[in-house]
Amino acid sequence: MPLYKRKLYTLMKPPKDLKLDEQLFQVRFTKEIFREYQEYLNCMKLYQRRVWTCKVSGKSNLTYKEAIVSEHKANEKVQQFPKEFMGPVLHMVQFSPLRIDELVDSLYKDFKERFVVGEVVTGTHGEGSSTSTCMCQILKVLKEEGKKYETPRYNVAWLDDNNRKIGISKESADDLKRKRHPFSRALLKAFVRESTSSGPSRNSPWSVDEMVNEAHTQKKRKHPEGTSARKKADGKRQHVHKGELLTLRITDLWGKVIIYRLRRTRYPIEDSHVNLSSEDPQLNDRPVPSTDFLLPMACVGDLLMVWDFCSLFSKALLLSPFTLEELEKSLDYKEGEAPLLLEINFALLCIALTDPILRDEFFHRRKHHSKISMANWKDDLCDFLELPSQHKFTGVTHVPTIQQGLYRQLDACVKLKILMELVGCCVSSSAIRTQIDNNIEEHQLAMANKREAEVEELKRKNEERENLKRQQCPGNTNFLAVENGDHQEEKVLENGREHRNQEGEHPFLEKENHHSVSVRSRHVLLKEKLAAKLALEGVKERQRTEEQKKLQEKRKEQAEALTQCKIQQQMLAERLKKQEHLEREMEKHYIRTTPLGKDCFHNCFWFFFREGRLFVESNDCKQWGYYTAKEELDALFKSLNLKGIREKSLQKELETLYEKISTALQKRSKELAQQYAVEEALVRRSECVRSAPRLTGFLAYVNRLRMP
């Protein structure tokens, strides 16, 4: 069976209750049967991917069908492996932690120097002048207690020419020889792969297949000490964890004790098993989260749940957004009626009564059949809590207090409990279910748009890479040609100067050719000098013209590069803006909030996109805290140990959302500072003019989405 991700792949079992006239889909080379066509296609796509490995030969990057063919060919070679060596080899392989190459080398060396039961070898028989060489068969490997031999000893049966036994004796390995080694390294490796399996880890011990073990070995080999379990002094089994140093003691066929020392050190591992060493980088101290909530600690979890529900489904509830701090202060406020609580109660009650059963029960028990309204929300709430189906609610015991108009005097935990019970009734309502379905569709659409944008970005990067390669290809030699042309022109100009100096400007040559100069007329000499001067000025003028042209071309190239850079920056800004828009759209259509991850103590970390705090929930769900500063986020990030499974996953998630979380923390800090400054200014102004201060914060909440 081919390997998939270093593991044996199990074929799908046929579906149950098959009918004769049922339409089915079958994979031809595995005989697997599927009812659904999509499942059949997914299975075929997996088989066609090059992720399969031949179990016998070890060849990888194969399709499933290619791996099957490779295994069939390799199994034909494995049939040539000597049968008398199968049991001893499997005995040595069982529970060995060595890698395949090291294991094959060790086995090949051991069986090259020693012999196994049933093997026919050549031995020296007799003593003195009567010694002779003949064939013999190994009957038993001798293991005598109290005696240690440098070489193993064997019971052998001597054979005549017709392979009949003619005698038995004890012989040393030095007196026995083979004509040739019974198998090659490649054949041994193929036999080991075909008959055994190993775990996904490189240090996983080898395990012989049960059917092969029963067929070729006489007794089952016990699990060696230290591989997965260990016995204490009291006889109980002690589990071994990853990262712990193990000592394996294995006894081979000839009584030799083999000791393996290994550490299973593939990280990440279970966080509670991680032990810091001196080689590990120093981790920062874990920052202590703040716990200054207005409500009791036991109510913080319910507070977050109610606020998150109202924020996620604000469109269906017709509630304007509000902060967690505003909800907390509204619940704790007892001096009057907090408008935010009135709006939340009324909105939840309206959505809960969209359920047909609850609505019929509600209006059937009411003495008057008027519709629920914001003006009579307290009476409507009391009537709802007194319904027989709601008698299990804790809010029923507080109905008299609400009817007396003392809702504000209720404890904050009681108000929150009533909101929790209303939220529970709203979850299954048709309005919430409709928004959930719409959110799922919008979220899937945003995900599809994001994937398309990522594909376009990948294509653009590949095109830029190809253009850069074409620009850097060795055939582009225009610049070198121009540069070489300039050097040649300068060289020609220098040669012309030297030629003119040789003709009449060099003082030594003037003395030698004094007679010829006197013959030539002065007019001709002046004319030649003037021509040479004009030619030199012409060369200089051409050089200046070429330099100006090069300078203009360079400026033009710089301008084009600057324009191209601006275009690229504009395109990058547009892509970033589009990506941010898609991410905001995905955030808008979340249907539930999931935690970022857990640390080594199983503390759970939560981040809400509409709240600028990073919350921490204890492992028993009884304690809550939060971080509000970017410095605390950085300290938390640097205190996580990557050797642990949970903390590594948490750090990866924090790294992905680092910009969003840090921006939200900083934004909340600025908003709080501005809010405090405005409130202080309003208080000072009211004291100066002796007027009542204006309502601010949670008392100034106005629901702009509520229908009139």
**For range 576-580, the mean pLDDT:** 71
196 is a domain residue: no
What is residue 502's DSSP assignment?
I
The mean per-residue pLDDT over the stretch 249-267 comes to 62
pLDDT attached to residue 650: 94
415 & 461 share domain:
no
User: What are the pLDDT digits (tens) for 145-192?
Assistant: 545 446 788 889 988 888 888 888 888 888 888 888 888 888 888 888
Question: Domain ends where: 588, 609, 631?
Answer: 588
Of 685 and 103, the structure prediction assigns the larger pLDDT to 103
Cα–Cα distance between 582 and 569 in angstroms, integer? 20
In this predicted structure, the answer to whether residue 502 has a pLDDT above a threshold of 80 is: no
The residues near 343 (Cβ < 8 Å, ≥ 6 apart) are 319, 701, 703, 706
- CA–CA separation, 545 and 541 (whole Å): 6
End of a domain among 526, 555, 588? 588
Overall number of domains in the chain: 3
In this structure, are 365 and 419 located in the same domain?
yes
Q: What is the pLDDT of residue 217?
A: 58
Total count of residues recorded for the chain: 708
Q: Is position 704 within any domain?
A: no
Which SS3 state, helix, strand or coil, does residue 626 take? strand
Residues 426 and 302 in one domain: yes
Whether residue 566 is contained in a domain is answered as: yes
CA distances from 3 to 49, 206, 302, 597 (A): 13, 15, 49, 32
Which region, left, alpha or beta, applies to residue 178 given φ > 0 means left and ψ of -120 to 50 means alpha? Answer: beta
Q: What is the mean pLDDT of residues 284-300?
A: 92
| DSSP classification of residue 179 | S
Which residue range forms the structural domain that includes residue 551? 457-469+484-588
Q: Which helix (H) or strand (E) holds 247?
A: strand 245-251
Using CA atoms, how far apart are residues 178 and 120, in angstroms rounded to an integer? Answer: 8
Between the ranges 100-109, 183-192, 407-416, 469-478, where is the mean pLDDT highest? 407-416
Domain boundary among 53, 78, 103: 78
Residue 370 confidence (pLDDT) above 80: no
CB 110 within 8 A of CB 250: no
Choice between 494 and 480, residue whose per-residue pLDDT is larger: 494
Q: What strands lie across the sheet with 132-141, from one edge to the other?
A: 165-172, 153-159, 132-141, 120-125, 176-177
Q: Are residues 423 and 514 in the same domain?
A: no
pLDDT grade for 562, boundaries at 50, 70 and 90: confident
| pLDDT attached to residue 603 | 94
Specify burial of residue 131 (Cβ count, 10 A radius: 0-12, 13-18, 19+): exposed
Q: State the DSSP code for 428.
A: T
Residue-wise pLDDT for 630-666, tens only, equals 999 999 999 999 999 999 999 999 998 999 899 999 9
The predicted model gives 66-90 an average pLDDT of: 85
* Mean pLDDT, residues 484-489: 45
- The answer to the question of residue 691 being in a domain is no
Q: Are 58 and 196 in contact (CB under 8 A)?
A: no
At residue 333's C-alpha, the angle toward residues 327 and 334, to 5°, is 150
Same domain, 429 and 336: yes
Q: Is residue 489 over pLDDT 70?
A: no
Position 128 scores a pLDDT of 65
Whether residues 420 and 499 fall in one domain: no
Q: Is residue 368 part of a domain?
A: yes
**Do residues 378 and 322 share a domain?**
yes
Judged by average pLDDT, the poorest of 121-130, 223-232, 300-309 is 223-232
pLDDT at 492: 41
Angle between helix axes 185-195 and 83-93 (nearest 10 degrees) is: 70
415 with 521, same domain: the answer is no
Residues 397 and 464 in one domain: no
Residue 680 has pLDDT above 80, yes or no: no
Radius of gyration, CA atoms only, the chain = 44
Residue 505 forms part of a structural domain = yes
Q: Which DSSP category does 636 fall into?
A: H
Over residues 311-327, mean pLDDT? 91
Is 542 a residue whose pLDDT tops 60?
yes
Bridging pattern class, strands 3-4 and 7-8: antiparallel
Other C-beta atoms within 10 Å of 161: how many?
7
Find residue 598's DSSP bridge partners: 604
Reported confidence tier of residue 106, pLDDT bands at 50, 70, 90: confident
Q: How far apart are the C-alpha atoms of 316 and 400, rounded to whole Å?
A: 31
HEC string of 439-489 equals HHHHHHHHHHHHHHHHHHHHHHHHHHHHHHHHHCCCCCCHHHHHHHHHHHH
Q: Which residue has the tokens 């009817």?
A: 403
- 431 and 462 belong to one structural domain: no
Say if 63 falls within a structural domain: yes
Any idea which residue has 């026919």 for tokens?
120
Q: For residues 314 and 479, which has the higher predicted lDDT (pLDDT)? A: 314
Give strand ranges (E) for 252-332: 257-263
Whether 646 is covered by a domain: the verdict is no
Q: How far apart are CA 180 and CA 119, in angstroms?
A: 12
| In contact, 316 and 350? CB cutoff 8 Å | no
Domain check: are 533 and 424 in the same one? no
State the residue for tokens 């490997």.
141
410 and 318 in a common domain: yes
Residue 306 is predicted with a pLDDT of: 94
